[in-house]
Amino acid sequence: MSDAPVLELEGITRTFKQGKRELEVLKGAELRVGSGEVVALVGPSGAGKSTLLQIAGLLEQPTSGDIRIDGQSCVGLGDDDRTKIRRYNIGFVYQYHHLLPEFSALENITIPQIIAGIDKSTARSRARELLDWMGLVERANHRPGQLSGGEQQRVAIARALAASPRVLLADEPTGNLDPDTADDVFGVLMHLARGAGLAALVATHNPDLARRMDRIVRVENGVLVPG
């Protein structure tokens, strides 16, 4: 693991308007995640975990503060530039897999790569490699409806890693799985994130999984504190 920060959040604030009132969810959140580091993001429901992940993933603008990926400031960029950074540098995994039901596991991993400009042959080869790592190569031609919940989530993780991103953001990636399957899927995610040198930020309500990560940060009163 390198100490060099890949993902940096600096002074992140986020305020929402509720009628005439303003709700300040984040109040100057600070975080640095290095290459190969897996950080657990914890806190009660409504504390701002998902908002922080959306901001870190350039899906939502902070009210103030800066997001840097590999040292590049991402605040103030236009929509096209933000989309490009998301496409090439950020992988997302959610509680629900959001796989395309009409396509096979292989196609679900291949298609995003083609959209990112990778040629079809290379994309399919990378997809098969990832499915092999996931222990799913024999399920490559199965559609999501033919896969178990754990298999679907492993395909979703493979899809997130397909374009070799620098940052992995996961929002309750095992929250919809039974404990044994969750443990298995989480182990795969940890192994691949560390092996690929990703800066990974994983929101979870599961204290056992949180303790297995490199460190824990908690959203508390709108800021991040050591867990």
Pairwise CA distance, residues 203 & 53, whole Å: 8
Is 139 part of any domain?
Answer: no
Is 126 part of any domain?
Answer: no
Residue type, 35: S
The CATH number assigned to the domain holding 20 equals 3.40.50.300
pLDDT of residue 142: 96
β-strand partners of 225:
218
Give φ, ψ of 26 to 5 degrees: -115, 140
Is 217 part of any domain?
Answer: yes
Is 119 part of any domain?
Answer: no
- Residue 172: CB atoms within 10 Å: 19
Q: Tell me the two tokens of residue 80.
A: 């096209």
pLDDT of residue 7: 96
The secondary structure element, H or E, covering residue 182 is helix 179-195
Is 129 part of any domain?
Answer: no
pLDDT in tens, the chain (227 residues): 446 799 999 999 999 888 788 888 999 999 999 999 999 999 988 888 999 999 999 999 999 999 999 999 999 899 999 999 998 899 998 877 789 999 999 999 999 889 888 899 999 999 999 998 888 999 999 999 999 988 998 899 889 988 889 999 999 888 777 888 788 888 888 888 888 889 999 999 889 889 999 999 999 999 999 97
Pairwise CA distance, residues 54 & 20, whole Å: 25
- Residue 89: CB atoms within 10 Å: 20
Structural domain for 94, as ranges: 5-100+151-226
Residue type, 111: I
- CA separation (Å) from 68 to 31, 32, 72, 135, 155? 10, 9, 5, 34, 28
Residue bearing tokens 């309500």: 205
Pairwise CA distance, residues 66 & 146, whole Å: 42
Helices and strands (H, E) in the chain, number of each type: 7, 10
Q: How many CA atoms lie within 13 A of 131 on its CB side?
A: 22
β-strand partners of 168:
91, 200
Is 41 part of any domain?
Answer: yes
Instruction: Show the beta-strand stretches assigned E in the chain.
Output: 5-18, 21-34, 38-42, 64-69, 72-73, 90-94, 167-171, 199-203, 215-220, 223-226
pLDDT of residue 3: 61
pLDDT of residue 30: 96
Is 106 part of any domain?
Answer: no
Is 182 part of any domain?
Answer: yes
Number of domains in the chain: 1
Pairwise CA distance, residues 124 & 111, whole Å: 9
